[in-house]
Amino acid sequence: MATQIENSTQEPRSSSRRSLTATRPLMGWRTVDILTIAFLGAALGVAFWGWGVFYNGPVTALKIGYAPLMGLFVGPWFLAGVIGGLVVRRPGAALFCEVVAALVSMLPGTEWGATVLISGVLQGLGAELVFAIFGYKAFGLAVASLAGAMSAPLQWGFEVMSLPAGGGGWYAEWVMRDKLVYLGAMMLSGAVLAGLVGWLLVRALARAGALSAFPPGQEHRESHAV
C-alpha cells in the first residue's frame, strides 16, 4: 500500500505540462505570499511610472497619426496582475498586485490623476477573472496571455464610455469603429506585453532561484531534479 501512495504522488511530476497549485487551502495566504505580492506590486508600480513617462513621449507621437493604435502600448500596465497571479496562485493575488502597483505609480504624479487607482482595480479584476475561471489550477502560457488580454476590456470601457447627458471617459467622443480598434489593440498588447512577457519573467525569476517559496520555483526544481 505504501508504495502505491508513493507512486501516485510521483505521477504529477512526470507530466510537466500541468501547473502546480498553491498549498491548500487556497485562501490560506502565508505571510510570504502577502508580502511578495505587495513588494512585487510596489516594484512594478515604479516601473509603471517609468513606462508612463515613456508612453507620454514617443507614444504621443503615434497619437498624432492614428490614436487607437496606442492601445498596442498599454500592455506593460497589465503586468502586475499577470505576474501576481502566476507567482502566488491564490484567489485575489492578481487584483491585489495590480492595485498596489497602481497605488505606487500614482504617488509621484501621473498624467491620469486618481483614475490610476480605478484603472488598477479594473485591470486587476480582468486578470483575476481569468485565473478564477481556470479554478486557480492552470498557469501556463495560454492562461497568462488570456489574463493579459482580459485585463483590457473593463479598462477600455472606462476610457471610452460616454454618458447620455454628455461627458464620459478620455475617448468618449471617438466613433465606435475607432473605439473597437482601440479595444483590439489593447487586448493584443495585453496578451503579448503582459501575458507572454509576464510568463517569461516569472520563468526567469524561478530560474534565478528567487521563487523558491512559490509554485513556479517548485516547478522549476522538479523539472531539473529528474
Partner 1 sequence: MLRDLTLSVEPGERVLLAGPSGSGKSTLLRAIAGLLETADAGDLTGSVTVDGVVPGARPGAVGLVLQEPGSGVVAASVGRDVAFGPENVGVPRDGIRAVVADALAAVGLGDLALDTPTSALSGGQTQRLALAGTLALDPSVVLLDEPTAMLDQGSAKGVRDAVAALCSRPGAPTLVVVEHVLGPWVDLVERLVVLSDDGQVVADGPVRATLEAERERLLAMGVWVPGEGPPEPVAVDPALVTPWTTRTSPALTAVPLVVERTTRLLNGGRRTRCAAELTAGLEAVPGSLTALVGPSGSGKSTVLHALAGFLIPTTPDAVRVTPTTPDAGPPTPPGDLGAADLARTLAWVPQWSSSTIVAGTVLDEVLATSRALGDDGSRDIEIDTDRARALLAALGLAQLERADPRHLSGGEQRRLAVAAALHHGPAVLLADEPTVGQDRRTWAALVGLVAAYRTAGGAVVAATHDTHVVDRATVVHHLSPPAQAPEVPAHGIPLVARCGPLALLGGALLAVPAGVLSPHWSVSLVVLATQLVLAVVGLWAPGPGALARVRGTALRMLPGLVAALSVGWSTWFLAGRDLDPALTVALRVLVIVLPAAVLIPWIDPDRLGDHLAQRLRLPDRPVVATAAALQRVQSFGQIWSELSRARRVRGLGVSWRRPRSVVSHLGALTMGLLVRTLRAAAELAVAMDARGFATAWSRSWWLPAPWWWRDTVLVALSAIPLAVALLVPL
> Which residues would be at the binding site for partner 1 (CB under 8 A)?
29-32, 34-43, 45-47, 52-53, 56, 60, 63-64, 67-68, 96, 100, 103-104, 106-115, 117-118, 163, 165-175, 178, 201, 204-205, 207-213, 217-218, 221
Cβ proximity to partner 1: between 67 and 134 the closer is: 67
Provide the minimum distance between the beta carbon of 216 and partner 1 in the complex, in angstroms, as a whole number. 11
Helix (H, G, I), strand (E, B) or coil at 5: helix
Q: Return d(Cα 91, Cα 76) in angstroms, integer.
A: 22
- Tell me the closest approach of the beta carbon of residue 159 to partner 1, in angstroms: 10
Tell me, rounded to whole angstroms, the distance of Cα 209 from its chain centroid: 21
Nearer to partner 1, 134 or 161 (CB): 161
* In the block, residue with C-alpha cell 490623476: 113
Residue 25: asked if its preceding bond is cis (omega within 30°), the reply is yes
Q: How many whole angstroms separate alpha carbon 176 and alpha carbon 173?
A: 9
Give the residue with the Cβ less far from partner 1, 134 or 203.
Answer: 203
Task: Kindly state the smallest distance separating residue 207's Cβ from partner 1, in Å.
Answer: 8
If the CB atoms of residues 83 and 191 are measured against partner 1, the closer one turns out to be 83
Cell of 75: 500592455
3-state SS, residue 23:
coil
